[in-house]
Chains A and B, each alone.
Chain A
Amino acid sequence: MRIEGRGRVDRGTPLRFRFDGREMEGFGGDTLASALMGAGVGVVGRSFKYHRPRGVLTDGSAEPNALVTIGDEPNIRATMQPLFHGLQAVSQNRWPSLGFDLMAVNDLAAPFLGAGFYYKTFMWPQRFWERLYEPMIRRAAGLGALSGKPPEEHYETAFAFCDLLVIGAGPAGLMAALTAAQAGAEVILCDEDAAPGGRLLAEVEDVGGVAGHLWAAGMAERLRGLGVRVMPRTTVTGAYDQGTYGALEQVVPAGVHPGGAPRECFWRIAARRAVLCTGALERPIAFRDNDRPGVMLAGALRAYVNRWGVAPGRRVAVFGNNDDAHRTARDAAAAGLKVVALVDSRPDAVNLAGDVPFMPGWQVTQAIGRGGLRAIRLAGPGGRGRMLEVDGLGVSGGWNPSVHLTSHMGARPVWDPGLAAFVPSEAAVPGMSVAGSARGRMGTAACLRDGAERGVEAAGELGLRASMPDLPEAGDDLLRLRALWAVPGKGRAWVDFQNDVTVKDVRQAASEGYGTVEHMKRYTTQGMATDQGKSSNVVALALLAQATGRDIPGTGTTTFRPPFVPVSIAAMGAGGRGKRFAPERRTTTDALSRAMGAPMIEAGLWYRSAYFPREGETTWRQACDREVRMVRQTVGVCEVSTLGKIAVSGPEAGRFLDLVYTNTMSTLAEGRVRYGLMLREDGHVMDDGTVSRLSAHDFLLTTTTAAAGQVMRHLDFVQQAYAPRMALRLVSVTEHWAQFAVAGPLARGVVDGLLDAPMGDLPFMGCRAVTVGGVGARLFRISFSGELGFEIAVPARYGESLFRALLGRAEALGGGAYGLEALNVLRIEKGFLTHAEMHGRVTAFDLGMHRMIAPGKDCIGKALASRPGLVAEDREMLVGLWVAGDRAPLAGAHLFAEGASPVSENDQGYVTSACWSPTLEQWLALGFLKNGRARQGERLRMVDHLRRLDVACNVAEAVAFDPDGGRMRG
């Protein structure tokens, strides 16, 4: 119902919207919750477990009941959703409709569905759990449903930095921001509301001689003028190490097409200091059927009347245990509502609400009206009882300071018996102080003063000189209360509205042995789901304390964890969506290779050509086999720029390389290349590659594509930690050079013709500087194919051009491009290694390369590589495997003795690489076999249970083709 002449919504801007298909009208400045209340909608959702009709409980982010779906987004709190023209909201957790929900049958079965019923009811038969019980429970209970579609809107993550982060723009926050900003601090002020002011927006209260909301708006303007970054609709969700805070900004409300803007932004704010000014959250009192739509928190009722000019009906009552509740009765009466009763549980309470029926010492014992509140039943002194007809009831059991963020780094809040609430402990989060009602300073004047003082203090800690500003005049009501958690009586009294947890459930948990607060939470589910028990936690643990005969501080709280409010995964993960998941590294020939039809394989972050299909080829194998034969018979060209290239330069570079490689590099002659093996400190193989000595002081290392980053990091570490005084420096040059392998019997002709001067006699494992078209280039005679091979490197800008030139010459000789698939087959035929073999658990001994660990010098990993366990004869050693028949061997298959049962006890080894060798017309594999070097010729079983492979194979040398290397030495 709308209250004429009340509220600060813009009556000149009517907004049409739909709720469950029904068209309604609200106004600019409304939330969906206030607009629904204004339109006379009482039932806005169904409860989680019993599907009871529920109405709005709060006016803010703690809302447990009023969750709706807008567009594809479920569980939107109607209390936080700004109204806009054309908004379409749908209620949740009901079938077929909000008014008639078949699942409400659960409510009749309530006696069987109490705390722990899952654990008692669905125990057996065990196999029913996954197939029947769990799906059934999930369908029956729950919140909104996900659409299953990725969001269409843009979301973003962002970073912000400040001297002082002020969390909450109520009276305390505004004053803290002002004092710090005036002292010259760079301030960010976040508030989850669209407007600054906090509780001032909900009250009829003057600050500094003007209405509180106007004072707050003026302050925000003033702060902006001082350079403060005011961030509305931004909820700080978590406090983390080193002054880092997470914050969720709603840029565009749900349901509004954001255009190019993001829907939400998840901020990471790094602040040197922070002041927490998050205020306090009101809590209800439990009594029978206190979840009837129309029963809400007293402060919320007041907010709906004062800020939005709406009420659940003309006749309202207020039930509280504290003075603050009286303000609701006062404001409701002033707004022209019929205040039927101000019920205060304290017999000695004094009426502060003016001319309203006042009932001290009375309690509300029951709310009546399933589809919406119709009446309340009361009990008074001397056993008297009454019943009053009402449309709305405001309830206040006191206020809980919003201590959540102070607990995010492990601190526990402290019980304040005067407030009957927890307040933050001292120095709970390093660098963060707390001001205002968030630490129990409840009146407006107290908040203003406290905020200013914390602002001065924070500025001082930042090395700035701040002074106390003139404090605006404001009321300073003390929050006098006497704790009342639950009204005794029959029936179900709700504690946690979102999870349908009652007083009885909490007591039952205690009686069944779940007497600690963490156990009670898990047994009853109290405090879970989207509201995280903001309105229920303290009531629940107070009841638990009563039930277990302990006091509240002794009972303690559950752990408050981030996030403070629900954060969509879309916002949190925005930085990793789509192509932002990982950078793409494109080689210089990427576009050309794609134009040639080459499919790409991801290797590290690189994209490499898998093969270059030709007309008539329908499978990758046809292309791969052709490319392998081409390299063996004529010449092939392959981009190898993705291999890591590291320049190591300095008078002591050779000495340094002796330390990091197993073999001796300092003796390498200028213009020569040596194969090298690098170990990790623990003695296992890290990587292999080549070392070229370009000049006396300059070495060039190559690494595998996969380990380039790891090797660079390792070398940096060794240089800084073990060789800080050695005269050498190193840098990655991977990106600078585009490099191409030219391999095959006709390779020399392809390369030589391109060089500005003939290469002459470049020996195998030789290198030299050359020029191509006047451009400085490097030529290496190395081979990863087993054929006569060269690698030629030019600055990356010329990579594509050189590739075209090489291809043109190769094609003229019957050759062409080859990709990663053929490269892999060529190297398996030759028994050359990749990280399929050097997978992190193998040693040089396993690879048969233990003689490469030079005896005359030390190297990293040498000591640990010689541990007996790493050189034992029964270790799995690299072998070649020849597979008979048509079945392709598979990497990942395991090896067993012929005739042995293929179970893990009999495991003899495993396969790491496999291919069809078009050269040998034979299936080949590489793998590791126990004592493999001594088992040449042995016949084994190769079994892969997952892919149903079971074939015979023969153990062979790893090098299957051209074992003496005559072809590549040429």
Chain B
Amino acid sequence: MVDLIASDPWAGLLPVQAGAARLEAVDPGPLALLAPWPRAEEAMNAALRAAHGPGFPAPGRIETSGAARAIWFGRGQALLAGVVPDPSLRAHGLVEDQSDGWVVARLTGDGALDVLARLVPVDLRRLGPKGVVRTMLGHMNVAILGTSGGVEILAFRSMAGTLAHEIADAMRAVAGRAALG
């Protein structure tokens, strides 16, 4: 039997430290997209609570329970992170594995929001630890999650290199400014 070996999407790109900001890779665990059928939103919500704890998140919000995070991910969509979705959810909507579709990087440190202000056209200062936005980072579609002490950024796996490059570039510029005094 062949032995398949998992490869690292960041392949030596992370972590990056510049000034007061640090960018590092995060393993989010399993990821699955949940999208209830029309008129099945409540049923999905109940099934999600019963199976994993968190309810189906309101727009822009993250629901957390134990290892499971339900992250609002767009109109009528949530990304279930940290747990393998229970088969019972499939009765109420689309449940699709996305574990290898997205990479997650965590940006922390005092300069984190200054760094993202170079790249992201939305105001992240009020994101808070339970907030999420779907937005652009440079030219990439991303989701940005508030966490305590920083943010987590979800981007397409194929764009991991560009994501690391863009953020590292902005980190160095912000650190360069700080060095001016």
Interface residue ranges, A against B (CB under 8 Å):
154, 156-161, 251-252, 258-262, 268, 270, 575, 579-580, 582-588, 591, 606, 647, 649-651, 720, 724-738, 754, 756, 772-775, 794-802, 805
Contacts and interface: CB of A to CB of B under 8 A. Distances in A.
A799 B75 CA distance: 30
B33 A731 contact: yes
B159 A584 contact: yes
A800 B11 CA distance: 13
A734 B158 CA distance: 10
Interface in B142-169: 156-162, 165-166, 169
Contacts of B179: 259-261
Contacts of B118: 156-159
A729 B162 CA distance: 30
Contact of A262 (B94, B160, B176): B176
Interface stretch (B45-53, B56-64, B97-105): B97-105
Contacts of B117: 158-160
B120 interface: yes
13 contacts: A161-B125, A259-B176, A259-B180, A260-B173, A580-B139, A582-B139, A585-B156, A585-B158, A649-B93, A649-B95, A732-B101, A735-B157, A772-B2
A736 B156 CA distance: 9
Interface residues of B, number: 57
Contacts of B40: 727
Contacts of A738: 100
Contacts of A586: 158-161
B139 A583 contact: yes
Interface string B52-87: 000000000000000000000001110000000000
A724 B37 CA distance: 10
Nearest to A734: B101
Contacts of A160: 117
Given A154-B176, A260-B179, A729-B93, A583 B6 contact: no
Contacts of B97: 733, 736, 795
Contacts of A735: 98, 100-102, 156-158
A261 B173 contact: yes
A731 B5 CA distance: 27
Contacts, number: 161
Tell me what chain A mostly uses at the interface: helix, strand, loop, or mixed: mixed
B161 A580 contact: no
Contacts of B94: 647, 649-650, 728-731
B155 to A, nearest CB: 9
A638 B150 CA distance: 41
B96 A731 contact: yes
Contacts of A805: 2, 4
Given A579-B165, A728-B37, A585 B173 contact: no
Given A586-B159, A801-B4, 14 more contacts: A156-B118, A161-B123, A161-B125, A260-B175, A579-B165, A583-B140, A591-B11, A649-B95, A724-B38, A727-B40, A730-B94, A731-B35, A798-B5, A799-B7
B27 to A, nearest CB: 11
Contact of B99 (A258, A736, A773): A736
Contact of A797 (B36, B77, B100): B100
B134 interface: no
| Residue from B77, B98, B101 whose CB has the most chain A CB atoms within 10 Å | B101
Contacts of B170: 156
A737 B4 CA distance: 14
Given A260-B173, A261-B179, A575 B138 contact: yes
A12 to B, nearest CB: 19
B38 to A, nearest CB: 5
A252 B170 CA distance: 16
B122 to A, nearest CB: 8
